């Protein structure tokens, strides 16, 4: 089993519109994938610590979601199928700004 952790840095100037859109998108994501959770910025300043506490010029990720997959092959098939589904295309067509993602990352982790 792997966990895909997706972090997005979305435009802060239209974040409220994104939040409203995400309320429609998350149920579709839950239907299409084994979604462990979907988290959105709570408006609380992040705590950046450590030996090299770099603060990104675009801020920290303001959207994070995690998907469980049996393995990478299942992930590649399942993620593609979800994004190509009619349900996702309908939700995506209502997105406030599909180009508003300043940065996106996906990390793949194992459970300890």
Any domain includes 14: yes
pLDDT band of 14, cuts 50, 70, 90: very high
> Is pLDDT of 55 > 90?
no
Helices (H) and strands (E) in the chain, counts: 3, 4
Any domain includes 63: yes
Any domain includes 50: no
Distance CA 103, CA 2 (A): 22
Which residue(s) pair with 2 in the sheet? 69
Q: In this structure, what are the phi and psi dihedrals at residue 59, rounded to the nearest 5 degrees?
A: 85, 180
Mean of all residue pLDDT scores within the chain: 96
CATH number, domain of 62, equals 3.30.70.100
The backbone region for 89, taken as left when phi is positive above 0, alpha when psi lies in -120 to 50, beta otherwise, is: alpha
How much is the average pLDDT of 13-31?
A: 97
For position 46, what pLDDT does the model report?
92
Distance CA 37, CA 94 (A): 22
Q: How many domains in the chain?
A: 1
Range of the domain at 80: 2-41+58-109
């Amino acid at each position: 089993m792997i966990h895909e952790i997706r972090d997005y840095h979305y435009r802060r100037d239209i974040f409220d519109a994104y939040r409203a859109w995400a309320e429609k998108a998350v149920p579709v994501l839950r239907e299409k994938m084994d979604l462990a959770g979907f988290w959105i910025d709570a408006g609380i300043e992040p705590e950046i610590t450590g030996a090299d506490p770099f603060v990104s010029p675009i801020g920290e990720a303001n959207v994070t979601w995690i998907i469980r997959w049996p393995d990478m092959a299942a992930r590649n098939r399942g993620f593609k199928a979800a994004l190509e589904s009619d349900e996702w295309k309908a939700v995506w067509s209502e997105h406030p700004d599909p180009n508003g993602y300043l940065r996106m990352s996906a990390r793949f982790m194992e459970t300890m």
